[in-house]
Every structure is written in structure tokens, then in C-alpha cells.
Amino acid sequence: MLYDYLRRWWRLLVLAAFIGGTAALSYQVANVNPLDYRADVTVAIMDPAPPLQKPPVVVVNLIATELTSEEAAIASGRAMVAAMANYTNAPVVTKDFFVSHRPNLHGWWKDIILGIIVGTLLAIGSIYVWEDTKSYLRHTQQTP
């Protein structure tokens, strides 16, 4: 019975899965793909004792967590430098400060799989309603 079902409706099932996956991918590309911004700061912690012309004692690379806006990444980087200066109680010199960004591509395939499943389930439901309607019409035509 399942073989007969798949033999008759396989084209519609494949088409529904393809349309569902394509719709999910286009939705994700258009709407759900914000950029992740990250602030990378390289600071040098100077020796607090005079003379201050000594080379840096420690060079630290601070990396902020991934944020959704460039301004938030800059504020996070500045806050990290301020916290480092307060924590060490020594002069802190910022060597490099740059913000990098990249598209957020976490779990893009999950949306496609969900779209395929939803499309296939919609097709199965439509097929069921179609066959049940045909069966009901045949039944009502046979009985007077």
C-alpha cells in the first residue's frame, strides 16, 4: 500500500520538499542573517614604576564576544580596556583596536531541513485530503 502511494505521488512529494527547502533558504538569507561584530584589542600593560620608557611588561590581546552591532563591539572593547586598566592599576596603552564582522551562519542547514519537512508534511496532508474527497464523492455517487 505504501509502495502504491509513493508510486503515484512521488513527484508531488519531491516537488513539495524542494519548494519547502528553497523557501526556507530564501527566508533565512533575506531576514535571519545578521552580522556578528567582534572587537579585537591589543593592549600593553606598562610598568607603573618610573621611568615609564621601559618596554611593555605584558602584551595582551582582548577579544570581545560576538555582538550584533559595530557600536556595541566598540563599546565592549573600550570597556575591556578600562577593566584591564582598573584591574592592573597600571598604565595601559592600546596598540591595536579593530572591529571585524562576518555573517552569522550558525545552523543555516537546520532551516532548510525544517522547510523540507514542513513542505513534505503539507504535501502529505494535501494528498490525504484529495484522496479522501475522491473516495467520499465516489461513495456518495454509488449510493442512491
Output the pLDDT for position 103.
67
pLDDT score for 115: 93
* C-alpha torsion angle, residues 106, 112, 118, 123 (rounded to 10): 180
* Cα 91 from Cα 53, distance rounded (Å): 12
Residue 16 confidence (pLDDT)? 94
Q: Give the separation between CA 69 and CA 39, rounded to whole angstroms.
A: 11
Splitting the chain (144 residues) into consecutive groups of 10 residues, what average pLDDT does each group show? 81 94 86 72 75 62 72 83 82 80 73 93 93 90 78
Distance CA 67, CA 38 (A): 6
